A and B are shown apart, each in its own frame.
Chain A
């Protein structure tokens, strides 16, 4: 640390026997300050001086009397970080101190995704960050309890220590469609997030159909995923018909659990259905009489 001539101790004409105008100033900061607390700096010396406080969110200049304590207001020490205190009369002296976060009061909790297929491994994750009332990140280790609940079933209950102010988890999704409650709690202050669990890809896709005067009417049985959850309406099922004239396809959305399609064909026809990567059974219909 160096001090510039403007503030340096200046002995006026000291070499020629003049009076040294410099004053010994000493300024001392407390070892530890917590955000939002008042603090005091001690000084030595005598006479008037100018005091500067510079830190995150604050820049203050006041007149002080050397030898007296300098009170620091709580409102000036709300942001955690490094503060610089400078006292200047004929010379400047400085000290620094750190303000640390206060007790945790809130928890920032990020959960992904908002919608997830059931029975997916490592599909749900969450990150929790504890903050004090002044929004400083609390860096001292704390235990955050994560809980995942689907209906009445508990999928996960784990205490994770924060490291550098962060705790996190990753978990598989449940087996039943519905709302997954994800909770992070710190000192019994819970923060709740909801993840919508939806059916996964269709499983055992089965179709049936019959001839109609216009062609062929084909439909799926109620479409479920492998865990038995109804696949959501709007999911597309692709029907493929192959007859003497060639191949034709039609996409049909699932409505009330079933996808339906009308296919124009009078000759012998083979119909298959697929949704995503899942293939259904093969339906063979003879030529129209």
Chain B
């Protein structure tokens, strides 16, 4: 009887451990998806001629954060999949070229501690395109064969064009400039 109870208790213990592992695994995935490494804030007070509604603001922040998380992932592990859905047009083309080029050269890039201060500077009258200025601050590492050959903390300026897709805002242009 005692043996049966012990066995049952041991079984429950395994089940609990399994559940705990599953919970932790799910949490790890969620926290990756939550983009905790990418901070985005948006100022849309100067945007015009159309006013940026608060729900649109929230959508832009969410989708811009997700796009940078996806881009960082694509450039770190040199895969195209994360780029699907977040990028379109020219931005998607050159990101794919970058990944393909990195695959050939054996180089990858790692983006860390991203902080993006977005300013909406133009929102089309019909809401079909928005231009943003991103002052981005992050740590970027260039890696070859597991060896970091370049590690730099940068503050960069990006001119960004975003357009609304079926269920999200997508980045169509992401162009680094020396200054705004």
* Chain A residues within 8 Å of B, Cβ to Cβ: 1-4, 6-7, 52, 54, 56-61, 79-82, 84, 86, 88, 92, 94, 98, 100-101, 110, 112-113, 125, 127, 129, 135-137, 139, 163-166, 168, 170
Contacts and interface: CB of A to CB of B under 8 A. Distances in A.
A6 to B, nearest CB: 5
B137 to A, nearest CB: 14
- Determine the interface band of chain B, counting residues with CB < 8 A from chain A: 35 or more
Contacts of A6: 147-149
A136 B124 contact: no
Given A52-B142, A125-B126, A168-B49, A136 B175 contact: yes
Interface of B: 49, 89-90, 93-95, 97-98, 101-102, 104-107, 109, 121-122, 124-126, 128-129, 131, 133, 142, 144, 147-153, 156, 159, 161, 173, 175-178, 180
A88 B149 CA distance: 8
Contacts of B133: 164
Contacts of A170: 49, 125
Contact of A84 (B98, B105, B150, B159): B150
A56 to B, nearest CB: 5
A57 B101 contact: yes
Given A52-B142, A125-B126, A166-B122, A59 B102 contact: yes
Interface on chain A toward B: helix, strand, loop, or mixed SS? Answer: strand
A57 B94 contact: yes
Given A110-B128, A137-B173, A170-B125, A3 B101 contact: no
Contact of A110 (B49, B95, B121, B129): B129
Interface of chain B, helix or strand or loop or mixed?
strand
Given A59-B102, A110-B124, A168-B124, A52 B144 contact: yes
Contacts of A101: 175
Contacts of B142: 52, 54, 84, 86
Contacts of B129: 110, 127, 129
A54 B107 contact: yes
Contact of A80 (B107, B125, B175): B175
Given A98-B176, A168-B49, A7 B101 contact: no
A137 B98 contact: no
B94 A79 contact: yes
Given A4-B149, A59-B102, A168-B125, 18 more contacts: A1-B152, A2-B152, A4-B148, A4-B151, A7-B150, A52-B142, A56-B176, A60-B105, A61-B106, A79-B94, A84-B150, A88-B149, A98-B177, A110-B126, A127-B129, A164-B131, A164-B180, A166-B131
B176 A82 contact: yes
Given A58-B98, A80-B175, A98-B177, A92 B149 contact: yes
14 contacts: A3-B151, A4-B149, A6-B147, A52-B105, A54-B109, A56-B95, A57-B98, A58-B101, A61-B107, A101-B175, A125-B126, A127-B125, A166-B122, A168-B122
Contacts of A79: 94, 97
A132 B177 CA distance: 16
Contacts of B156: 82
